[in-house]
Chains A and B, each alone.
Chain A
Amino acid sequence: MISLKNVSKSFGDTQVLKDISFEIQRGEVVCLIGPSGSGKSTILRCINGLERHDGGEIVVDGSVLGEKSLPAIRAKVAMVFQRFNLFPHRTAQENVAEGPIHVAGRPVAEAMTEARTLLERVGLGDKCDAYPAKLSGGQQQRVGIARALAMKPQAILFDEPTSALDPERVGEVLKVMRTLADEGMTMVIVTHEIGFAREVADRVLFMDRGRIVESGPAREVLTAPKVERTRVFLDRVLNPL
């Protein structure tokens, strides 16, 4: 579904992605973990064309990412952001319906009804008319997920979807994501929630300084990492004191 071949990316003189290659199958849930600044967000941003990679090749659903294929690829790959990024001047329901109406060109009434159904699905049926400022972080992020789903994507990229949340709000968002995973959605998730990754992810990619230094089945990598740097990182995340 998504494959990267020898992808590299520099900002000025600093190379932030070095020779990244991996493949994500349809229906697979892959977690990207690694220390801050290792390039996790940059990978997601490249797949979505928010950042242009300078070397290698990104292929989504059979088409090579480039100027021409970008709109089609964006229609297939949705994104969920750390800081939710809801449109503040639109209600929850309008946020969700924005893409279907103004990108996919669907009829307004139909898209709004569907937006309501999606909000119900993420447990926010009663918040349709609320503006983002009136919602908690957890609620905003669930609207963000509903907005991504509204585009009927084939895959969703999550960039630290829970790290801007109060600890007691993390669970409600992870629960929605777990449901999506169970329903077979293809997901690439940048996260520091190791417990979630262990239970929900099929595979884990561990990144450090622009490289993927370890990858494999989630349970294996997260319980018995083979690479020293992965071990040190996991130890630090799981035992912060």
Chain B
Amino acid sequence: MDQFLTDAVKFLPILMSGLGVTIAVTLAALVISVILGLVWALMGISRNRMLRAISRVVINTVRGVPIIVQLFYVYFVLPELGVQLDAFVAGAIGLGVAYSVYQAENFRAGFSSVDPMLIETAQSLGMSERKIMLRVIMPLAIRVTLPPFGNTSVMLLKDSSIASTITVAELTRAGQLLAVSTFQNMSVYTLIALLYLAMSLPLTYLVGRLERRFARK
């Protein structure tokens, strides 16, 4: 235990920079996944059959390929096609695309939870399509979307460790390097696990509270 504490004091500052990169790559991937996820979801509920078909194909394809392979694709294959990306950007894009299909499912569930009668009511009041989206569909859908969105975000946070495989210097990668050079596997990986928990547990707790709050309404 003493050993662990002295190691912790020594290693934590080094791991902190990795933690920062983990948070950064997670947030960047989150933004990408939300934007793309919204696009897939809106295409999926569109009146246009073509758009619906594209959305379905994209979602099934992305869901069917392991995230690590998607990251390799972005980082190793795209350069061969002339698109050179720095590791961090490749990680954010790869994770963002991979997670966009889960976000799309969260949004789809939210949209389809909105009573079509309420949309008709808004139409009968003369509301524009845009206002209906902003004032009726979005606020109602978000109650259904937010709890699974929280869970997806926690999963994304953990899966950001996969970016270590393409040399993104995030928490897991920083830990690996540290473990290799110090041989303190136990201390290093325990610290890393604790750091992930320090982020994911509060998030999980928050999601649970949101869920209960919406359930009451």
Which residues of chain B from 135 to 163 have a CB within 8 Å of any chain A CB?
135-136, 139-140, 143
Complex contact A102–B123 (CB within 8 A): no
Complex contact A99–B125 (CB within 8 A): yes
Complex contact A102–B124 (CB within 8 A): no
B117 CB–A CB distance under 8 Å? yes
Q: Digit string of B119-137 for contact with A (CB within 8 Å is 1, else 0)?
A: 0111111110001000110
Tell me how many residues of A have a C-beta within 8 Å of chain B: 22
Complex contact B140–A98 (CB within 8 A): no
Complex Cα distance, B140 from A85, in Å, reads 13
Q: For chain A, what secondary structure do more than half of its interface residues adopt (helix, strand, loop), or is it mixed?
A: loop
Which residues of chain B from 100 to 122 have a CB within 8 Å of any chain A CB?
115, 117-118, 120-122
Complex contact B126–A71 (CB within 8 A): yes
Complex Cα distance, B121 from A79, in Å, reads 8
Complex contact A79–B136 (CB within 8 A): no
B217 CB–A CB distance under 8 Å? yes
Q: For chain B, what secondary structure do more than half of its interface residues adopt (helix, strand, loop), or is it mixed?
A: helix
Complex contact B140–A88 (CB within 8 A): yes
Complex contact B126–A103 (CB within 8 A): yes
Q: Digit string of A54-96 for contact with B (CB within 8 Å is 1, else 0)?
A: 0000000000000000010011001101010101110000000
Complex contact B125–A74 (CB within 8 A): yes
Min CB–CB distance B144 → chain A (angstroms): 12
A42 CB–B CB distance under 8 Å? no
Complex contact A87–B136 (CB within 8 A): yes
Complex Cα distance, B10 from A115, in Å, reads 65
- Residues in B with CB closer than 8 Å to A75 are 126
Q: Digit string of B33-68 for contact with A (CB within 8 Å is 1, else 0)?
A: 000000000000000000000000000000000000
Min CB–CB distance A48 → chain B (angstroms): 5
Min CB–CB distance B130 → chain A (angstroms): 10
Known: A50-B123, A87-B136, A151-B126. A102 touches B118 (CB 8 A): no
B118's nearest neighbour on chain A, judged by CB, is A85
B124's nearest neighbour on chain A, judged by CB, is A79
Choose from A78, A88, A89 the contact partner of B124 (Cβ within 8 Å): A78
A72's nearest neighbour on chain B, judged by CB, is B126
- Residues in B with CB closer than 8 Å to A48 are 124
19 chain-A/chain-B pairs, Cβ below 8 angstroms: A50-B120, A50-B123, A71-B126, A74-B126, A75-B126, A85-B117, A85-B118, A85-B120, A85-B121, A87-B122, A88-B140, A89-B140, A98-B125, A98-B135, A99-B125, A102-B135, A131-B217, A133-B217, A151-B126
User: What would 13 more interface pairs be, CB under 8 Å, given A49-B123, A102-B135?
Assistant: A74-B123, A74-B126, A75-B126, A81-B117, A83-B117, A88-B118, A89-B139, A102-B127, A102-B131, A103-B127, A103-B131, A147-B125, A151-B125
